[in-house]
A and B are shown apart, each in its own frame.
Chain A
Amino acid sequence: MAEPFLDLSDISKAYPGVQALDGISFSVASGEVIGLVGENGAGKSTLMKILGGVVTPDKGVIRIAGAPCPALTVNEASRAGIAFVHQELNLFENLDVAANVFIGREPSTGGPFRLVDNRTMHAETGKLLHLLGVDFSPATPVAQLSLAQQQLVEITKALSLDARLVIMDEPTSSLTVSETNRLLKVIADLKTRGVSVIFISHRLHEVERCADRVIVLRDGRKVGELGQGEIRHDAMIRLMIGRSLKSLYLAPAAPPRAEAMALDQVRTSTFPEQNVSLSLRQGEILGLAGLVGSGRTELARALFGIDHKLGGDVKLAGRPVAITSPREAIDNGLFLVPEDRKRSGLLLDVSISENISLPDLVSYTKSFLMQPAPEAENAERQRKRLNIKTRSVMAAAGTLSGGNQQKVVLAKWLSMRPKVIIFDEPTRGVDVGAKQEIYELMRDLSDQGVAILMISSDMEEVIGVSDRMAVMHEGRISGFLERDRFSEDNVLKLAVGQSLQ
């Protein structure tokens, strides 16, 4: 191969108090897929910002197609053909797909009036959507799309820029298995057309599948590079955290005990004709697998009282309950760790301490007045127990990394007396080390007699963590699996609605 498309040598960047990047060098050839892995805080984001022209490195040279770019700006980066697909979606929900793809550079018609040329826009977008093989059209309003479909719109946007290098940051974190497969196919497709890809992901088996070369960062340094044939899950993890990760599954201390929650023909408004019946016992982790959009989150919301359920009965510890609001769910010891923790789980610019006490303020009052001291003491206790990495519990929750934010959400519920906890995508956007801690916590809780329902789209997680699994398909449970029948194959079959022999 001749000239590499992108060549970085000795890139360093320091922020006050931390060396974010320290002498990073690597190059990306045309049509090469680079997997970039590392824990949160390893320096991946800083590196991305440098490539995007947002941050200027303190030291080092960036060469694009052989030409040195000492002070890469945002415009230069995009002109050079570097496009981004961000983890956080930056879409306008009130516009349709085509308008989002062409936002800021709409083709115009009508001369001086500069009217938006909708026809061209839709035609161009349609071509790209066809390439990706998606099930929505350029005219679909983004508000109607699922999180996964929105991610695909972001990718379409990058493709429409005629990018020569697409940098994808956690592109699959909200995609289902089949959507992920489609994305990996798209990456392979880009590759054949000579487009380079930098694929950043915590999901190592995906990196394993699509990368030609893997670069591992740790604490701002490049700690290793794995070439074709060396890219293996355990090798990557060893480099990332400097130790091997144990197998995900932690066996329960005791067999499950009495029934904690029973659902009898529960129906939600998303799938009014279907119903769900299941039983959850104390001391077990029941995985709820399925495709995104199969009605799992809606079920969780209905159980927690956010949405009204259309019918069916819920029993907690054998006693029928009618939960119509989160308050009633909480008073019954049924808690939800929501899917979108930034929107539903936390008050980001409020302190960690106040976030933790929010559902249970009565416990921190004396004659109707808040008592800040016991509140802070409890927060401190939870910080130690959950190993929340922060300088102070008075810091705003939004300053924490994903994993630590999730621990704050957990701390809210652990400060009370949980009987049933529903986890909706417990480790989305959480780095490998914190993931393991959260799994250990879940097991710990279940050993203490808490019943756990874990909704997860991460195959590795749902297979690795659950004691038993229920798989949902279009609003109903298509099958239950015991541990001895756990396999990617079985889960997938049930998730698409087939039955197992």
Chain B
Amino acid sequence: MLKKDLGLLILILVVGAVVAFINPRFLSPINLSNTMNLIGLYGLFSIGVGFVIITGGIELSVGSMFALLGVIFIDLLSTYDVSWMLAFLLIVLAGLLLGSLHGFLVTRMNMQPFIVTLCGLLIYRGIARFYTEDATAGFAFGTSFPMLEWLVAGRTFGIPHSFIAFIIIAVIMGIVLHRSIFGRYLFAVGKNEEAARYSGIRTGRVIAAAYIICGGLAGLAAIFLAMYTRSISPASHGNFYELYAIAAAVLGGCSLRGGEGSVLGIVLGTILLQVLQNLVNLLGIPSSLNFAVIGTVILIGVLADQQIMRRGGFGQIFGRTKTVAQPAAERQT
């Protein structure tokens, strides 16, 4: 896993160096700070989605959650004059609640994660649009929340707070995933849910917890995003963000089959994606090609990774399950 992360880091540095060479503005403080801000914003929820992917599930609804929770957040502040701390708390709580709902449907109702979260994607977007009557939600002219704005959209020594929040969350989640019992359970459930159950792991709870964590982080990210854009058009706010998260997780070494991945990988995956976005802008590539560039990089990245892994392993043709155990058994005697 470490080797994989190192490879990704080198790739980021190479891409960064090339961009910096062609357009030195890449390294300007303003550009770096902006890129860091975006990394922070996207990274926050990518970690959550990564957790779900490690259990072998998928979470497609985060983009729509940003629209729904975002308009509610702005409405709470500007229409209902709720204190921003309470609104902050309520939105994170709402994220946790949506996550629990997904977890419940997946583990208790035995629904497929793809279907549950696809429906979430449609439903939350629809509600957000209905709620605002498809109008853009924003703060009334002149209103400001200095403390909140400083906290989620401010900078310290030029470092955006979204990035700092992302790093803090990444460290905490890294410890949770790689050092805690729960993290072990997540991997075990993703690798082989049945064997995990036979080892006494309450697999339903572990999986549900992953969706809840993802929902909570999505709630947090919804606030950061709302304060970053400051106005939300519910029809487009957060569109495709779930795919950025999945892409970051997959680039970072999460397997969609479950059981594999690391927080460091997801962090590096997010960074690479944002550096690529930046590359499209800075190199004057038409922005309409944005998705195509990112798609190509992910495709090549995952393909290269697989080819390297395959060369390291055995060529197996004969009775798949058997050869896994047999050559080793033969070597031992």
Contacts and interface: CB of A to CB of B under 8 A. Distances in A.
Interface in B306-333: 317-319, 321-322, 324-333
Nearest to A365: B181
Contact of A336 (B198, B201, B259, B325): B198
Contact of B181 (A219, A327, A362, A412): A362
A389 interface: yes
A358 B329 contact: no
A46 interface: yes
B195 interface: yes
Contacts of A327: 200-202
Instruction: Name the interface size band of chain B.
Output: 35 or more
Contacts of B321: 88, 342
B135 interface: no
A65 interface: no
Contacts of B181: 361-362, 365, 368, 370
A398 B180 contact: no
A18 B330 contact: yes
B191 interface: yes
A15 B175 contact: no
B116 to A, nearest CB: 23
Interface string A37-68: 00111110110010010110000000000000
Contacts of A354: 184
A90 B319 contact: yes
Interface string A342-380: 111111111000100011011001001110000000000
A52 B325 contact: no
Interface in A364-405: 365, 368-370, 389-390, 398-402, 404-405
A349 B322 CA distance: 14
Given A43-B330, A347-B195, A348-B192, A325 B202 contact: yes
Main secondary structure of the interface of B (DSSP, over half): helix
B123 interface: no
A15 B330 contact: yes
A5 B245 CA distance: 61
B28 interface: no
A361 B198 contact: no
A219 B333 contact: yes
Interface residues of A, number: 58
Nearest to A87: B322
Interface string A322-339: 000111011100001010
B200 A401 contact: no
B324 A348 contact: yes
B108 to A, nearest CB: 14
B191 A347 contact: yes
A306 interface: yes
A20 interface: yes
A361 B328 CA distance: 28
Contact of B195 (A46, A346, A365): A346
B197 A361 contact: no
B188 A350 contact: yes
B179 interface: yes
B305 interface: no
B200 A330 contact: yes
Contact of A401 (B196, B197, B332): B332
Interface in A418-454: none
Interface in A83-97: 86-88, 90
B325 A401 contact: yes
A17 interface: yes
Given A398-B325, A399-B325, A358 B201 contact: yes
B328 A401 contact: yes
A359 B329 contact: no
Contacts of B288: none
Nearest to A42: B333
B194 interface: yes
Contacts of A359: 199-201
A134 to B, nearest CB: 23
B197 to A, nearest CB: 6
Contacts of B318: 49, 52, 54-55
A389 B325 contact: no
Contact of B331 (A18, A88, A330, A358): A18
Contacts of B326: 45, 401
A226 B325 CA distance: 29
Contacts of A46: 330
Interface in B141-158: none
A370 B180 contact: yes
A400 B333 CA distance: 12
A125 B126 CA distance: 53
Contacts of B328: 399-401
Interface string B180-219: 1101110110011011111111100000000000000000
Contacts of B183: 370
B199 A412 contact: yes
A359 B197 CA distance: 9
Contacts of A343: 192, 194-195
A345 B331 contact: no
Contact of A39 (B191, B197, B259, B333): B333
User: Counting chain A CB atoms within 10 Å of each CB, which of B184, B319, B324 scores highest?
Assistant: B319
A40 B329 contact: yes
Given A347-B192, A361-B184, A88 B319 contact: yes
A401 B322 contact: no
Contact of B200 (A52, A329, A369, A405): A329
A20 B330 contact: yes
Given A362-B181, A398-B324, A326 B195 contact: no
Contact of B198 (A41, A344, A349, A350): A344
Nearest to B327: A15
A398 B323 CA distance: 10
Closest 4 CB pairs of A and B: A401-B329, A41-B333, A399-B328, A330-B200
20 contacts: A40-B329, A41-B330, A49-B318, A327-B202, A342-B321, A344-B194, A347-B195, A347-B196, A358-B184, A359-B200, A361-B184, A361-B185, A365-B181, A368-B180, A370-B183, A398-B325, A399-B328, A401-B332, A402-B325, A404-B329
Given A343-B194, A350-B191, 5 more contacts: A41-B332, A55-B318, A361-B185, A370-B179, A389-B332
Interface of B: 175, 179-181, 183-185, 187-188, 191-192, 194-202, 259, 317-319, 321-322, 324-333
